[in-house]
A = this chain, B = another copy of it.
Amino acid sequence: MFSGIRKIISVKSTSRKKPGASPKLSEKKERLKLFLKEKGFKSTKQRDIIASEFLAVGEHVTAEELYNRICKKHSNIGFTTVYRTLKLLAESGLATERVFADNLTRYEPLAAEEHHDHLICLKCGSITEFEDQRMERLQEKIATEFGFSVETHKMELYGRCRKCGGGNI
């Protein structure tokens, strides 16, 4: 299923939130520090570097992708630490873990408060985010019809983006 994707190579964000709606980088790093302190964890150079790089990159990265970026500049940072820090960021609510059809775990900044879904191009691998209230409402509605209460959901549309012939197949 979805075997068309070899690798998700590039990533785009097309969210519709107002500019300035998301916290600044410094604010996010502050939040991480608070979380660490609160949990009795320690602030370290590595965590700072990794968090900064992660927040700078911004889009759906795997632990490995992020590690590759980081280890060029900081040969003293190991894969394991990148991996663990991403988990930590996810726990603290600064990142969200996602698994798409290629079965790799990706991390995406923030998102705790801004749930959204994804359009994934099977040709070029680009990921476009979207949020749609109609969708949220319909999900609730359907769930209710089954006596089900929704805590979270996963919704991915796989197909062709505009560039790859989305309009006219």
CB contact between A148 and one of B97, B119, B153 (< 8 Å): that residue = B119
CB contact between A14 and one of B96, B122, B128, B146 (< 8 Å): that residue = B146
Number of copies: 2
Number of A residues contacting the other chain (C-beta, 8 Å)?
43
Interface membership of A18, Cβ < 8 A: no
Q: Which residues of B contact A153 (CB under 8 A)?
A: 155-158
Q: Are A162 and B138 in contact (CB under 8 A)?
A: no
Interface membership of A169, Cβ < 8 A: yes
Q: What is the chain B residue whose CB lies nearest that of A160?
A: B149
Q: Which of A135-165 contact B (CB under 8 A)?
A: 135, 138-139, 142-143, 146-162, 165
Interface membership of A132, Cβ < 8 A: yes
Interface membership of A99, Cβ < 8 A: yes
CB contact between A147 and one of B90, B135, B166 (< 8 Å): that residue = B166
Interface membership of A134, Cβ < 8 A: yes
CB contact between A139 and one of B1, B150, B157, B162 (< 8 Å): that residue = B157
Interface membership of A75, Cβ < 8 A: no
A110-131 contact mask (Cβ, 8 Å, vs B): 1 or 0: 0000000001011000001010
Q: Which residues of B contact A169 (CB under 8 A)?
A: 149
Supply 13 further A-B pairs (C-beta < 8 A) apart from A1-B98, A147-B161, A150-B157. A1-B97, A103-B103, A130-B146, A138-B138, A139-B157, A147-B166, A148-B160, A149-B159, A149-B166, A149-B167, A149-B169, A153-B158, A155-B156
8 A-B pairs with least C-beta separation? A147-B162, A150-B159, A151-B159, A155-B155, A1-B97, A149-B166, A154-B156, A148-B166
